[in-house]
Structure 1
Amino acid sequence: MKKNFKTRLAKTRNLVLGLSSAALLMACSANPSDVKQDTDDFNLSGVMQPVAQENIFYDKEFFNWGSSMVKGEDGKYHLFYAQMPRKHGFFSWLTDGRVSRAVSDSPTGPWKHVEVVMEGRGDGYWDQYTVHCHKIYKFEGKYYLYYMSTNSGDMDLTPEQLEEVRRSRWKPDNLRGMMRLNQRIGVAVADSIEGPWQRFDKPLIEPEFPIANIVNNTTVTQRPDGGYLMVVRGDQPDQPKNEIIRMQAVLLADHPLGPWKMQEKPVIKDYNSEDPEVWYDAERKRYYSLYHAFGYMGMITSEDGLNWQRAKHYKVSDKSYKTTEGKTVKVHRYERPTIYHENGKPLVMTAGIKMPDGDTHSLFIPLKQ
């Protein structure tokens, strides 16, 4: 009996030792690339540098607002920036917005205005009023200028009614509410950064589930598989008539002109946010997207572009920025963020700034490499 017990004990000990050795051997021989690593370590707040006076772009006759840039074949930086006439007030972005182009030897400025690129086309066009909330990209040798516009439908606005839309705040049943509901996303295409720009008879993007009512705030990036990903902002469905919750959705396409297919799963829901700025980080093999949330700027991330979560370094900034003189400037609005990349590296963060006194400017924040 004792002999049999000792024999079984020895066999059990040998089995345990064999399994432990096999597990250790497998762990040592495993391919490190098979182990999933968390690559979400981009800290945008940590690389934002103080701004100098030359990093501020101001205009006496127009409110300078959100901006987007590309580097031209001439080696210069070409800024496409939103403007609204000061004489019509800040809220005229819905009626009188335009996109202008400026040039600089540096992506942080100073900038020199060159031309007005695009305005509303007038009666008979879907983009009758305003060109706003734009982004400029160079894809496959062509330039694509995505933008938002609106129209008054079958209604011909009198000068007095147009002025009412310019000055009034949104209500669901006033004229501004009507113009707001007609917001759509379009695109213009050019072979040269100087144009001419080809526009189209219909919008590129219409609202559809999971968003409702409008589409605005477009941003586009190229996917690693060669296709394209777009994030847009619309209204969350099934809300009370007098309330708006802004939400974001994602679309996919094989070409910058589409057709774009809306994805069912929203990027952000049940949380008021707008002005997304999306890009694919090839080094980290993941997407990032900025947005402003009416009080601060946040950053989210996704590995596949469809399932999003808060980034590890989610909080990017409150409503303030630092200057090279050591001051912290508190602002009223800090919106329309974009990130300019060069050779795959983020170089500059831009934003539209509105001060407590109502004045505005475009801001260019250098990013530490």
Structure 2
Amino acid sequence: MISTQGEDEKYSRRFFIQSGISLLSGMCVAPFLFGKTFSPDIKPVFSLKPIGRSLELADYYIWCSSPIWGEDGKVHLFYSRWRKEKGMSGWLHGSEIAHAIADTPYSSFKHQSVVLAPRPESWDSTTCHNPLIKKVEDTYYLFYMGNSNGKTDTKRIGLASSSSLFGPWKRTDTPLLLPGDEGAWDDHCTTNPAFVCGDDGLYWLFYKSWNTADYQSEKGPVRGNRKYGLAKAKHPAGPYVKVSEKPVIDFSQRPNNAQLEDAFVWKEGDIYYMIARDMGFYNHEFGLLLTSTDGIQWSEPTVSYLGLKSYVQEAPPPSYLKRFGRLERPMLLLDQQTGKPRFLFGATQGGSFGTSTTFVFDILTYKL
């Protein structure tokens, strides 16, 4: 069992001061109560304490919050946003990627600038979404997804790079990773990038996709079966080569069209870990945790976190927010010294403006 309690006294002192102000003003942390609705049958890997809705914008939906420590000692957040009038589906046909900063993980994030916006007549001309920020040596790499027709079948993973978190950012002219040939398990798209430096000296890029024919024939609220593939490169900017014609994570033989998405991958010792959002293995609200020694063979999933109602209680949202209660796009901010999980970031519907926001948890303990 690894405990992070007591490690960051300087953060804790500031948190209690800031949270007292925030709870009164509603600017940083929306009102909540610590929940006591944990299932007695399921013990999640992460013991979490809610910090709250740390980034809200009056005119935007917010999603995909990827944090990184800056050289200034602050937390920099790369997130996707789209105009409120587009509704929840605006992520697919009108998202842009922006940059926000907070003094600590316990503080409010303040919007700084738009980093990546759709480019006319390009492969990412309709949307820029799914940001994932990573640093390798002296360069920052911002992985993301773009599309060109406002639909899922042109989703492609792309890349922007910079020597500074403040830019300028140089984008690739072509996608970083293309779908497979027609009929392949991944012929529909490439999306949801997850990146890690492998122990083989290569750079690993995990990606989500599914088969177009399955997607078109599937009935019900969730069409198709999402799986994960793996591609590797000698340089973070590629070129990436897929390691197999088969997915490395595939739940399609399980009942209820079980699947997962929104993977985040990190490494501790000789083990690779993946946190992801459950889509029917247990339910659609839990987070999952999988482990691997080679990135190809993965363990059976366990529960990494529970549904949001197990941690916070909020007023019922507007009826159009159908995903309220889920924490999606889970991402970790690792400890600067140990490289171990320290804070959990996610996206969730609700908040002061009836849209969606960044939500942050303090990871008190965990047992991998």
Of 333, 336, 343, which aligns to 2:329?
A: 336
Q: What is the match of residue 266 of structure 1?
A: 247
TM superposition shift of 1:319? 4.5
Q: What is the match of residue 182 of structure 1?
A: 154
Task: Tell me if structure 2 keeps the 8 A contact 1:128–1:150.
Answer: yes
Q: Secondary structure at the match of 1:181?
A: helix
* Pair 319,133 (structure 1): closer, same or farther in 2 beyond 3 Å: same
* Pair 242,227 (structure 1): closer, same or farther in 2 beyond 3 Å: same
Task: Tell me if structure 1 keeps the 8 A contact 2:101–2:111.
Answer: yes
Cα deviation digits, residues 171-230 of structure 1 (max 9, x gap):
xxxxx5xx2211111000111111111112110000124422111111101113432111
Q: Could you tell me how far apart the structure 2 residues matched to 1:309 and 1:210 are?
A: 21
Task: Tell me if structure 1 keeps the 8 A contact 2:187–2:212.
Answer: yes
Task: Tell me if structure 2 keeps the 8 A contact 1:109–1:364.
Answer: no
Cα deviation digits, residues 75-130 of structure 1 (max 9, x gap):
111111111110111101111111111111112432111111111011x2111111
Q: Secondary structure at the match of 1:224?
A: coil
Give the TM-score normalised by the residue count of structure 2.
0.74
TM superposition shift of 1:355? 3.8
Extract unaligned runs of 5+ from structure 1. Answer: 1-42, 153-175
* Pair 358,212 (structure 1): closer, same or farther in 2 beyond 3 Å: farther
Q: Could you tell me how far apart the structure 1 residues matched to 2:89 and 2:331 are?
A: 21
Cα deviation digits, residues 116-148 of structure 1 (max 9, x gap):
1111011x2111111101100111210100010
Q: What is the match of residue 79 of structure 1?
A: 77
What amino acid sits opposite 2:119 in the alignment?
R
Structure 1 or 2: more helix by fraction: 1
Indicate yes or no: 2:167 matched with 1:195.
yes
Q: Secondary structure at the match of 2:167?
A: coil
Of 137, 141, 148, which aligns to 2:138?
A: 141
Of 86, 105, 108, which aligns to 2:103?
A: 105
Give the TM-score normalised by the residue count of structure 1.
0.74
* Pair 46,333 (structure 1): closer, same or farther in 2 beyond 3 Å: closer
Q: What is the match of residue 212 of structure 1?
A: 187
What amino acid sits opposite 1:242 in the alignment?
S
Residues paired across the two proteins, number: 294
Q: What is the match of residue 347 of structure 1?
A: 342
* Pair 333,314 (structure 1): closer, same or farther in 2 beyond 3 Å: closer
Larger Rg: 1
Give identity over the alignment, percent.
Answer: 28
Task: Tell me if structure 2 keeps the 8 A contact 1:108–1:365.
Answer: no
Q: What is the match of residue 318 of structure 1?
A: 307
Q: Secondary structure at the match of 1:309?
A: coil
Q: What is the match of residue 364 of structure 1?
A: 360
Of 283, 287, 296, which aligns to 2:272?
A: 287
Q: Could you tell me how far apart the structure 1 residues matched to 2:124 and 2:216 are?
A: 26
Q: Could you tell me how far apart the structure 2 residues matched to 1:260 and 1:86 are?
A: 36
Q: Secondary structure at the match of 2:300?
A: strand
What amino acid sits opposite 1:348 in the alignment?
F
Give the alignment of 1:24-39 within 5 angstroms: none
* Pair 248,75 (structure 1): closer, same or farther in 2 beyond 3 Å: same
* Pair 44,258 (structure 1): closer, same or farther in 2 beyond 3 Å: farther
The RMSD of aligned alpha carbons is 2.4
Task: Tell me if structure 1 keeps the 8 A contact 2:263–2:277.
Answer: yes
Extract unaligned runs of 5+ from structure 2. Answer: 1-41, 219-223, 253-257, 317-323
Q: What is the match of residue 150 of structure 1?
A: 147
* Pair 289,272 (structure 1): closer, same or farther in 2 beyond 3 Å: same
Q: Could you tell me how far apart the structure 2 residues matched to 1:194 and 1:261 are?
A: 30
Q: Secondary structure at the match of 1:50?
A: strand
